[in-house]
Homo-oligomer: A and B are copies of this chain.
Amino acid sequence: MKIKATLITIGDEILIGQIVDTNSAFIAQQLNQTGIEVEEILSVKDELFTIVEALQRGIDSSDIVIVTGGLGPTKDDKTKNALCHFLDCGLVREAQVLENIKQFFTARGYTKELNNLNQDQALIPAKSTFIQNRYGTAPGLWTNFHGKIIINLPGVPIEMKGLMREEIIPRLRTQFNSVHVVHRNILVTGIPESDLSILLQEWENEIPDFISLAYLPNRTSINLRFSASGYDEKFMKDEIQNQIEKFKQIAGKYLVSEHSNKSQQILGDLLKEKGFTISTAESCTGGTIASILTSIPGSSSYFLGSVVSYATSVKTSVLGVSQQTVEEYSVVSEQVAEQMASGVRQLINTDIAIATTGVAGPCKGEDGKEVGTVWISVTDGKCFLTKKYFYPDLDREDFIAIVSNNALNLVIKFLTS
């Protein structure tokens, strides 16, 4: 029977949308890899009775409740009091926690007396045990509660991640005879989601019960995700591969990758396979394509470098774009995109190069080009594949993200056609 968990994040900054809740995604991923199923994720206010009610909800539906946030030393951190109220116990001062806090400050050069707020961080609910936090002052808490577990972690991501990886997951693995969970993502493009679903209907109905299939569409493609959980990891992986082979017989022509849903991974694998190197010349994307490519470990074997030519002067002086071309066609043009791609390919000395030039907004481009206009060019020194896109409805952040992803997909297309 599946072990279930409820995740609770405490913090008004999530509810006003000031920060994105990345903690829950990290914890959910870690638990999933441990064979623990996340039943629900709740983000609630930093108010005592709200937290108590959330704890009760979690305990009612799950075996494990993991709470992040609210463990700080200031007045707006109410989690421990809520936990005490829920557990019906008081707080005790743990000498070892106090010692840990002292050492934490000393190691960072603060040689002062601990104030009473720090002293209060050493107060632990009497029914809980503490887990030392190597990355901050608030200890993690582990509470056994009628056969279930309540875990409290600090909300600061680095602290939470350290505790999850080094302390919580190992303890959970020990405590539960955890199943293996296998996921496999494949990427499909060129067919609407509904048409794909109909095409795959018969095959989908024949998939063994222990494998589930989900459709995760985005703007340009569909990620199909196969998931299975059980004790025989090899068997599940082999059976999923078997299903993918059957998929390929039906819809293989739409398949972009049978191993990844991420363009940067797909492109990286393709470049490694072909032994090609790549560089980028970026204007409106501001270095984002380079940062996405380098987010893949081992990318140094194919990615050599970039020039972010944000100012027009840098396009001409560093990339060798012709001033006359800029004046004749404007800086956001097919011609400038191609010269940027050629220029960086020669400068960095790579097999392939990508270039982007566009108007991210909110203001129009130098020559009156509409916000959302962008040219992307890919070259291998002999041929170009150059496309124009127009996204007038996107905000700056989404525009940059989408154009960067389009650039990666254009290279994939260039290399596979």
Contact = CB atoms under 8 A, between A and B. Distances in A.
Interface of A: 12-22, 24-32, 37-45, 72-76, 105, 110, 112, 115-118, 121, 134-135, 137, 156-158, 161-162, 183, 192-195, 197-198, 204, 214-219, 225, 227, 280, 282, 285-291, 293-295, 297-300, 303-311, 313-314, 317-318, 347-349, 361-363, 393-398, 400, 402
A291 B287 contact: yes
Nearest to A108: B192
A37 B313 CA distance: 47
A73 B12 CA distance: 35
Given A156-B218, A219-B158, A294-B287, A314 B348 contact: yes
B217 A72 contact: yes
Nearest to A21: B21
Nearest to A204: B75
Nearest to A75: B197
Given A17-B31, A19-B25, A40-B44, 7 more contacts: A14-B41, A17-B24, A73-B194, A121-B194, A156-B219, A287-B291, A294-B400
A197 B74 contact: yes
A303 B287 CA distance: 12
A304 B300 contact: no
A197 B25 contact: no
Contact of A16 (B38, B157, B161, B396): B38
Contacts of A285: 291
Contacts of A161: 395, 398
Contacts of A19: 25, 216
Identical chains in the assembly: 2
A103 to B, nearest CB: 14
A43 B44 contact: no
Contact of A305 (B121, B157, B310, B397): B310
23 contacts: A14-B25, A14-B28, A15-B40, A17-B31, A17-B32, A18-B216, A39-B45, A40-B45, A41-B43, A72-B217, A74-B193, A116-B198, A117-B197, A117-B198, A156-B218, A286-B291, A288-B291, A291-B400, A294-B310, A295-B400, A297-B361, A300-B311, A314-B348
B347 A318 contact: yes
A317 B349 contact: yes
Nearest to A195: B115
A300 B135 CA distance: 37
A202 B344 CA distance: 59
Nearest to A198: B115
B304 A290 contact: no
B43 A15 contact: no
A217 B73 CA distance: 11
A233 B72 CA distance: 31
A17 B30 contact: yes
Contacts of A314: 304-305, 348
B16 A32 contact: yes
Given A17-B32, A117-B194, A291-B287, A393 B306 contact: no
A400 B156 CA distance: 17
B24 A43 contact: yes
A402 B21 CA distance: 18
Contacts of A306: 287, 306-308, 310
A304 B319 CA distance: 13
A16 B28 contact: yes
B41 A40 contact: no
A285 B299 CA distance: 13
Given A117-B194, A117-B198, A291-B291, A308 B310 contact: no
A69 B199 CA distance: 23
Contacts of A288: 287, 291
